[in-house]
Structure 1
Amino acid sequence: MTAKIIDKHCAQDGDLRPQHLPQNSKTRQLNLFEKALVPQNGLFIFSAILLVVYAIAPAAVYLIAPVGESFLLLSLITICAVTSMLLGSQISLFDSRFKPSAPRLAIDRRVFIAVTWLIFIAFVLITFSTAPSIPIWTALRGGATSNELSQERGEFLKGREGAGIALLYISTFLVNTIVPYSIVLLYRVKSSLRHWAAAVFFLFCISFMQKALFLNLILPLLVFLAITRKLSTKIFLPVIFGTVGLLLLTTALSLAGEGGDTSNTRSSDYLTALYAPSNPIDYFIWRAAAVPIFTATDTLVVHSEQFGSRPLMGATSTLISSILGIERINLERFVFEHQFGGWNDTANSNAVFCIDAYVNFGWPGVVIFGLIIGLTFRWFKISTDIGFQSLWLIFAFVLFSAPLIGMLLSNGFAYMLLHGLYIRVDRHGT
C-alpha cells in the first residue's frame, strides 16, 4: 500500500527540496502528520517523546509508588540529555558542508544503487542458505513456544560463530541505513525496480521475526512523503493501522505456543520483567510502554549493584574496549540476567542512549552524547539530500532503546553521517 501511494507522487529526478517542489505542493501548508515527520521538527518530536517516556513517567511512578531511586535518576538523566540535545542543535559546526558550493564526492546514482543491492542480495542468499532455521516458517507452522522462537531468532544472526558473525554486522549496516536510503532514491526517481526492492527488503525484515525491523522500510518512506508534502490523512492512517496490525500479528505468532498463565501476575509487576501479558495486545502495549522504562532503570540498578556505579569508560563497546585494551563488558546481558534470572548468550536488554552514556562516562557523557545527537538532527534538518533526511526517524527510533556508540558503529550511521556531509549521489555522478 505504501509503495503504491508513494509511486503517484515521485519526481523523475533532481532535487526535491521544498523550493523545487511542484507549485501546488510548495504553496500548501504542511498538515499535522507532515509537520510531525519532516526533519525540521524531528528533534522537537523526539525530545518530547523522550521527556514523556523517560522523564515524566518515571518521576510520576517514583512519586506515587514504592519504587527505587533509579526511576528518579532516570528522569534527571533524560532531562539533562534533552537539554544537551537542544543546545547541540544550535551548533553550526559543518553547516558549510551543506552549501550548494561545498565540494563533495559525486557518485552515480545507478552505480550506488546497483552496488548496494548486489551486496544485499548476496548477503540474503548466504544468510538464508546457512541459517539453521527460518523463524517465520517455524511460527507459521505452529507448535513452537515463544522461548523456542526467541532462540531461533537469536541463532539466525546473533548466534553465528566464527566468520559467520560478520553476517550480523553486515545486516545491521545494510538494514538500518544503506538499503532504506537506496529505496528512497528508487522511489524518488520512480525506478521500475522500486516495488521489487521494497518487497524483497520487507520480506527479509519479517523473515526472522524481529517484529519491528520492517519499520526500517515504512519510516523512511513516511518521512519521504512528508518532505514532498504528500502525506495526507487517507495515506497516513491506513499505513499506521496496517503497521500496528502487522506488529500485533507477528507478536501473536511469537506467542502462539504459550499458555499465557497470568494467575500470579500483579499490577505492581507491570514495570518489571515479572509481568505476564495476557494476550498479544496486552503484550504489545506492555512492550511499548513499560519495557523501555524498566529496562533503563534496571540498567542503572545493575550498574550500581554489580559495578559500584563507577564509569565503565566505554567498556560496553566492543570497538572502544579493544582500542583501549580493557575487558569488554556485556552490560545488556547482565541486565537481561538481572531481569529474567539467567544468562543468555544471544538475548540483550538495551536501554535508551542516555543511560548508556551515563553508565560509561557519567554526567559528562550524557551532556556530550546529547550535544552530538542534537548536532546530528541539525544536519538532517539542513541537508538537501532527501534520502539522508528520510533516515532521521530511524535514527531517533534506534536511539530510543539503544546506545549511541553502538548504533553509529554497528548500524551504519557513522558512514551515513559522513555520506551526508561529503558525498552526493546524483544522476550521473557529476
Structure 2
Amino acid sequence: MKTCGCVPCPLLTSRCGANEQDSLWSFVCSNKMPEGPELHLASLFVNKMCAGVVFTGPVRKSEVSKSPDVPFTCDAYCITAASRGKEVKLTLTPMKSDGAKRGGKAGQADQPMDVVFRFGMSGFFRFTTEDELPKHAHLRFYSTEKPCRVLSFVDTRRFGSWQPDGTWQAGRGPCIMFEYKSFRENVVSHLSDRAFDRPICEVLLNQKFFNGIGNYLRAEILFRLNIPPFVPARTVLEGLESEDLSDRRVKNEITDAKTSDQAKKKVVKEEVGDLLRLCHTVPLEVVNLGGKGYDPEKADYSDFEAWLQCYYVDGMKSIRDHNGRTMWFKGDPGPMAPKDSKSPKAKKRAKKKDDHDYTDKKVARSRSESTVKNKVVKKETVTKPLKKEEDANVEEARSKRKTEKSCKVNTHPHERGSTARRGKSSSAESTAGSQWRSSRVTRANSK
C-alpha cells in the first residue's frame, strides 16, 4: 500500500508521487519563500510521518548537489525533527541492538547525528515510496520496509543547504515563535545597533534579530499595525520594553447613548499595538491553520489565501526595497522609500500593454494577419486598373511637353539663357527638365 508523504505546507508540491511541479506550486514558490511557520510545519510533518519508522543504511546524496555528504550509516536508526526560526534540525539516532552492544560493525554510527537544514527558496521534505522518489530529491533516508519508503529533502532551485553534525547557526537570533522572551530581549537590548537605522521593513528580514520573519510575514505584520514600511526601524521599536506589556489593557470610558438617562459608562478594552508581539503571534496563526489550507492532495490553499490581508492582495501597493525584495503595503510607503522604485506588478502590466508576446500562438497569429494584408493589397491592384492608365496618360503628356521644349532650344539658341533662368525658378519637376535641356545644349554646341 502506498502512503502519501507530502508536507502540509503552502510551499510544498501539490500532488503526491508527482515528479514535476504544477502551475500553482510554481506560482507560490516564485512569490513566497519558506518562512518560520513553513519550517515548523515541515518539522511536524517529519515527526508525524517518521514516527515508528526504522531507517537503515547510508544517507545518500544526489550527484548534482554541492552540499556536503552526510557520513552516517547504520543498520537501524530513527529520525526526529525540530525547528528554530528558518532552520530545521533532523536528529538521526541509532537504535540499540545485540550487535551494537557487542561493538557493532566497522563504520557503523553509534552516536546520534544532527543534520541542520536551511530551505533556501524552495526546500521541503517528502516521504514517498522509492518508486515515487521526486526528481529533485537531493538528500535521502531509506527505511527498512518492503517496499522501501524514503524521506527526502527536495529542493528544485538548489538554494537550500544542510550541515552534518550541525548546530543552530550562531548568527541567527532566537526563534520568533518558540523563544519569544529571548527574541524580544534581543531586539530591545540592541536598538542602538546600526542595523536599526534602516527602514523597518528591511530590518524585519534581518535574521540576527527576527529569525523566522520573511517577505509575506513582514507585509502582514506592518499592515495590521498600519505602519508605513519605509520608516526608520528605531522610531518604531524604541518605545517598546523587553517585557511584553501587551497583556495590559488601556481602559477607555465611552458613554453609551442608549442609557444616557442614567449616564452609564461602558469600559472597552483595547490591546496596545506591539510590533514585537505581532512578530510572535502572526506566524503562530499560520501554524494554527494546520492542514486546512495546505492539503497537497487537493491543492487547496483557500484558507491561507483568505488569511492574507496584504501580501499579494488586490488593492495593495508593492515596490522593491533597497535589497530588491518586493514589499507589499497600503497607503504611504514612508520617507525612506527607494527613489524611482517601480512596482513589479506595474512592470507586468507594461509588458502586456506593449504587446511583447513572442509565444508560438502569437507568432502564428501575426503571420496570418500579414497574409491577409498581402491578399488585400493584391486585390486592390486588380480592382483599380483605371488609376494606372490615368497615370500613364499623364506621364505621356509630360514627355511630349519636354520634347517640344527641347526642340525650341535647338532652333533658337539665343533663348537659352532665359530658358535656363526660368528653369532655376521653377518647381522640382521643372528643375529636372532644365538639367536635361542643358545637357542637350552642350551636345549641340559640340557639333
TM-score range, shorter chain: under 0.3
TM-score (norm 2): 0.19
Structure number, greater radius of gyration: 2
Larger helix proportion of the pair = 1
Choose between structure 1 and 2 for higher RCO, CA contacts under 8 A separated by at least 6 residues: 1
Question: Which structure dedicates a bigger proportion of its chain to strand?
Answer: 2
